[in-house]
Amino acid sequence: MFNEQEWRGKTLGQYELRELIDDSLILTFRAYQPRLKRLVTVQMLRPEMGANSRLREGMAQGAEIMAAMEHANIVPVIDYGEDQNIPYIAIRSMQGGSLRARLQQGAFSLNDAGGIIRQIGSALDYVHTHGRVHGDPSPRNMGFDLSGSAYITDFLFIGMLNEGSEIVLGSKRYAAPERWRDEPPTSATDQYALAGIAYHIITGNAPFENNDRAALRENHLQDMPSAPQIHRTEIPLSVNDVLFRALAKQPQNRYPTVLDFARDFEKALNAAPQHVFISYSRRDSAYAAQLGEHLQQGGFQMWIDSQIEQGDQWFNQIHEAIKTSAAFLVIMTPDAENSEWVQKEILLAKRYKKPIFPLLLNGDEFALLIDLQFADVRGDQLPGQDFHRRLSRAIHGMM
């Protein structure tokens, strides 16, 4: 059984072990190299595993693979050796901290998130184009330098896999469905893991937060994560299609390359917010609020005029909100049909060629919208999944 206290302060090769920062099959220490007076990171095989020849050989192979990688966002190898019958690798210290530690503080800004995924995606694409895979992208093996640039490390996993180790390795939190079925890692499984991490850094939550292993397995095999906007409403809806494609259950349905995903993800984050405008009569305010909350829970960004007062400035804001909207919803009731403001809003939506979605709450269809398919929500019902799909298609079709 490994005892951190016994190893803290010891020397492994020419490196003084100072603090354990990751306790798994491969132990990771903050360390110091006295000869060059610099901080480094040292990864070592657990002492009790030292007699396992496959793991030793796998770690050596992983170190060779990592040392051969020359990319701006791959942590460089400093040294590899054995001491006290324990293999170890020394790599550059990530003094900006690990992604795992940074995520404990919450989600990143959308701008920073796009840059992080672009940099890591570029590194993984480099690995893939050189005929390798990483095998275990996760926040614990991603980190930052002091300037904020992102890096990925820890290619030891794939070396051990090549040696046929039967020990379960890797982070299951972001593992692709095929990895849960014990299939070998591929560039597509690396992409799936990176998409899960991308979801985490913009929402502050992993795609699936289940801590029960069997339940987590079922999540990855059967379920899709909730819409990111449930966790953070300002995330553009254009992000959803990008993430959910990279998180597809079947590898062939994901992006052709991880770099394609990373580029689309950053582009989607920079897209203008795609809100949905709701037009309604004041007498239907309660239903409008309920509808807005319902659709927001489904991942849509809603715009309702409940927070502004009527007047010239009010109509200017209404005008701008309709002009910049992705879709226009109108709650049809007799009061709404008789409302001068609702009629003006419909005409603005038509003027700007917005997709219009009428919802019939009570009364009859509006003559102005007679040519459009309406959703029947009489009895204060809320629209179902078919309506959600039509609305989503209309929004993404405008992009």
Q: Which of 239-243, 330-334, 344-348, 393-397 has the lowest mean pLDDT?
A: 393-397
What does the block give as tokens for 266? 């950053």
For residue 376, the SS3 value is strand
All residues at 6 or more sequence positions from 151 whose CB lies less than 8 Å from its CB, including other chains: 73, 74, 75, 94, 119, 123, 142, 143, 144, 145
Query: Using an 8 Å Cβ cutoff, are 258 and 128 in contact?
Result: yes
- Please determine whether the domains at 4-92 and 99-269 fall in the same fold group of CATH: no
Cα dihedral 238, 216, 102, 16 sign: negative
Alpha-carbon gap, residue 193 to 197, rounded angstroms = 6
| Polymer length in residues for the chain | 399
Cα dihedral 386, 390, 393, 395 sign: negative
CATH level 3 topology of 4-92 = Phosphorylase Kinase; domain 1 (3.30.200)
For residue 330, the SS3 value is strand
Around Cβ 61, how many Cβ atoms within 10 Å?
18
What does the block give as tokens for 54? 């496959």
Span 109-133, mean pLDDT?
96
Query: Using an 8 Å Cβ cutoff, are 271 and 236 in contact?
Result: yes
Q: What would the pLDDT profile of 358-397 be if each residue is shown by its tens digit?
A: 999 999 999 999 999 999 999 999 999 889 889 988 876 4
Greater confidence (203 vs 160) lies with 203
The pLDDT confidence band at residue 273, using thresholds 50, 70 and 90, is: low
314 half-sphere exposure, CB direction, 13 A CA radius: 10
Query: Using an 8 Å Cβ cutoff, are 161 and 135 in contact?
Result: yes
Q: What would the pLDDT profile of 182-206 be if each residue is shown by its tens digit?
A: 899 999 999 999 999 999 999 999 9
Q: Residue 396 has what pLDDT?
A: 62
Average pLDDT of the chain? 89
Q: For the chain, give me the number of helices (H) and strands (E)?
A: 15, 13
Helix (H) or strand (E) holding 392: helix 385-397
CA angle, 329 as apex, 310 and 272 as ends, to 5°?
85
Strands 77-83 and 38-45: unpaired
CATH dotted code for 99-269: 1.10.510.10
pLDDT at residue 157 greater than cutoff 80: no
CATH level 3 topology of 275-397 = Rossmann fold (3.40.50)
Alpha-carbon gap, residue 41 to 18, rounded angstroms = 10
The pLDDT confidence band at residue 74, using thresholds 50, 70 and 90, is: very high
CA distances to 124, 267, 364 from 279, in Å:
46, 30, 16
Q: Domain coordinates of the chain in residue numbers?
A: 4-92, 99-269, 275-397
